[in-house]
Amino acid sequence: MQKSIFYKYFRNFAAVVAVSILVLGSLFMIFATDYFKEDKRETMEQQVAVTSSLLLANSDYDPESNRVVINSSAITEGFETLSMLGDSAVFFTNSSGVIQLWCEGGDFSQPVYTVSPQVLRSIDGEGSYFAAGRMAGLFDESYYTYGEGIQITSGATIGYIFVAEPASELQSFLTEMIKMFLLSAVAVLVLSVVVTYYSTIKMVRPLREMAAAAKKFGQGDFSSRIDVTSDDEVGQLAMALNNMAQSLSQQESMRRSFIANVSHELKTPMTSIGGFIDGILDGTIPPSEHRKYLRIVSEETGRLSRLVRSMLNLSRIEAGELKLNRVSLNIVDTIAQTLFTFEQSIEGKKLDIRGLDAGKVMVDADADLIHQVVYNLIENAVKFVNEGGYLAFSFRTDGGMTYIGIRNSGEGLAKEEIPRVFDRFYKTDRSRGIDKNGVGLGLYLVKSIVGLHSGDIIVSSVQGEYTEFVFSVPSAKVKASPIVTGREKEYGVNSSGLIPVEQAGPAAEAPDTEA
């Protein structure tokens, strides 16, 4: 069975709390035991000090016999008091370790017992003795025993005084401590479990919401959004998923729009082609009209071919498969050559060509792709320029980039149309009536090619006056020079337009373009 993150987190946290309490309890018991022993030692040390003082004050030492004469009647009261404290035993031995005086629980006796020499040596060497045990059979159960030597003025040890208390007190002490600790631990554990339970639910809830939203995203529903209630990692993840959903929604909308537009653009010429071919085959169209309609079929076939090639080029650009073959080229020369392709249209509309007297303007770009950019922009300018109007070109270099402007007079673009002119398959209402062959990919392709060169393109327009496209490409390392050399000698500019000075030869074949 799959375990949820809630179960895993709650289980791990509970395990950590339980282990922490166990470790804390063990350390607490160790420290409590050490504290109890140290406290017991200090108490018994004070008792021995009082007993020693009492013995020294009420006894005489005979050097000749090496014996201590004790005035038992004088110290009885003191021994009884000390032995009754904590049900302890107080006893005195001579220098050989033989018990001379024993008092336990207020009762005096004199058991036949000799303290181990090791204990006496420990006192002589370290100054005191403290241990838990039965004192080699002296006690029936474990006792804490503390002892010190009694010395006279000359420094000779005349005997040893011991105080012993039952070790069962430690067990009682630890039992009480364990009870208090367990009560506290249970309270802390219950509180921790409750807090962990609700905090885990709160932490897991947004993750469950993200999982549900991600499931919808996988099904193609990008409308779900996750509430962002924090700025931590979970909140950042929620924001990232929301941004991803927004991006996927836009891409899905663009994909559907793209498919719809492609379907429409393919359907129209294919319907025309199929209709005219069927009309010719079934005799609906008379033989005298065959050439006319075959010409229309040829134009529609060319339109389909341009659409497919443009889509393939865009696909290669967007997939990063199109590699630039950068060369240093004169953009003025490229524009001039392209203008000759439209010589008939330019002369038919009696257009004035301006700005081609700039000399050399060298750029670093792919010659074929930049030619396609120039061709598409000039083609649009020629299509929509007014009769007797002008085409104007401008060149400016700034910050390692060269800015090329192509302006045409005429009706211009409406303000609401400007932001959409670079969209795929977008056509203005006016262009739909003028441009019958374009499919609306030309400017999108232009923008993609310019972007591939790390440049940019902008459009500006004033209705009733002009429309201008300005694109940028990297400048060539060779500085632009106004000296006219090479191909530039073949062209001249006057007030009536572009005039070939020398025979330019046949015009180059136009690249695939769409307005």
Look up the pTM and report it: 0.45
State pLDDT tens for residues 440-495. Answer: 577 888 888 898 888 999 999 888 889 999 999 999 875 544 444 443 333 333 33
Whether 240 and 371 map to the same domain: the answer is no
Phi, psi of 205 (to 5 degrees): -55, -50
Residue 202 lies in a domain: no
Residue 314 lies in a domain: yes
Residue 301 lies in a domain: yes
Residue 160 lies in a domain: yes
Whether 365 and 438 map to the same domain: the answer is yes
CATH code assigned at 270: 1.10.287.130
How many angstroms separate the CA atoms of 435 and 202, rounded? 60
**Helices of type H across 283-366:** 290-318, 331-341, 343-349
Residue 366 β-bridge partners: 326
State pLDDT tens for residues 374-418. Answer: 988 998 899 889 999 999 999 999 989 999 999 999 888 888 888
In terms of residues, how long is the chain? 515
Whether 486 and 434 map to the same domain: the answer is yes
Q: Angle at CA 465, nearest 5°, toward 461 and 471?
A: 35
- Residue 312 CB neighbours (<10 A): 11
Tell me, what's the pLDDT at 495? Answer: 33
Residue 490's identity, in one-letter code, is E
Q: What is the DSSP string of 332-390?
A: HHHHHHHHHHTHHHHHHHTPEEES--S---EEEEEHHHHHHHHHHHHHHHHHHBPTT-E
C-alpha pair distances (Å), 452 with each of 266, 369, 397, 476, 486: 27, 10, 19, 16, 29
CATH code assigned at 117: 3.30.450.20
Residue 195 lies in a domain: no
Residue 22 lies in a domain: yes
Whether 310 and 369 map to the same domain: the answer is no
- Average pLDDT of the residues in 357-363: 88
How many angstroms separate the CA atoms of 449 and 123, rounded? 100
Residue 445 lies in a domain: yes
Tell me, what's the pLDDT at 473? Answer: 93
* Domain carrying residue 404: 326-500
Find where tokens 């509180």 sit. Answer: 191
CATH code assigned at 437: 3.30.565.10
- Residue 151 CB neighbours (<10 A): 13
Q: How many CA atoms lie within 13 A of 92 on its CB side?
A: 28
| Termini Cα distance of the chain | 60
User: Using alpha carbons only, how large is the chain's radius of gyration in Å?
Assistant: 53
State pLDDT tens for residues 216-250. Answer: 888 878 777 777 777 777 788 888 888 888 888 87
Q: Angle at CA 54, nearest 5°, toward 52 and 55?
A: 65
Judged on CB neighbours under 10 Å (0-12, 13-18, 19+), 294 is middle
Q: Angle at CA 226, nearest 5°, toward 223 and 228?
A: 145
Whether 279 and 367 map to the same domain: the answer is no
By three-state DSSP, how is residue 500 classified? strand
Whether 309 and 414 map to the same domain: the answer is no
pLDDT: which is higher, 7 or 344: 344
Number of folded domains in the chain?
A: 3
Q: Last residue of a domain, which of 287, 318, 349? A: 318
How many angstroms separate the CA atoms of 245 and 213, rounded? 9
* Distance from the Cα of residue 283 to its chain's centroid: 70
- Asked if the model's pLDDT at residue 195 lies above 90, the reply is no
State pLDDT tens for residues 177-191. Answer: 888 888 888 888 888
Q: Last residue of a domain, which of 296, 318, 340? A: 318
Whether 276 and 374 map to the same domain: the answer is no
Find where tokens 């921790």 sit. Answer: 192
- Residue 268 CB neighbours (<10 A): 14
Whether 382 and 487 map to the same domain: the answer is yes
Please answer whether residues 501 and 489 qualify as being in contact, where contact means their C-beta atoms are separated by less than 8 angstroms.
yes
Whether 13 and 135 map to the same domain: the answer is yes
Whether 373 and 472 map to the same domain: the answer is yes
Whether 159 and 301 map to the same domain: the answer is no
Residue 211 lies in a domain: no
Whether 464 and 357 map to the same domain: the answer is yes
Find where tokens 């007079």 sit. Answer: 409
How many angstroms separate the CA atoms of 142 and 158, rounded? 28
Q: How many CA atoms lie within 13 A of 384 on its CB side?
A: 31
Q: Last residue of a domain, which of 277, 296, 318? A: 318
What lies within 8 Å, CB to CB, of 62 at 6+ separation is 68, 69
Q: Angle at CA 15, nearest 5°, toward 12 and 20?
A: 125
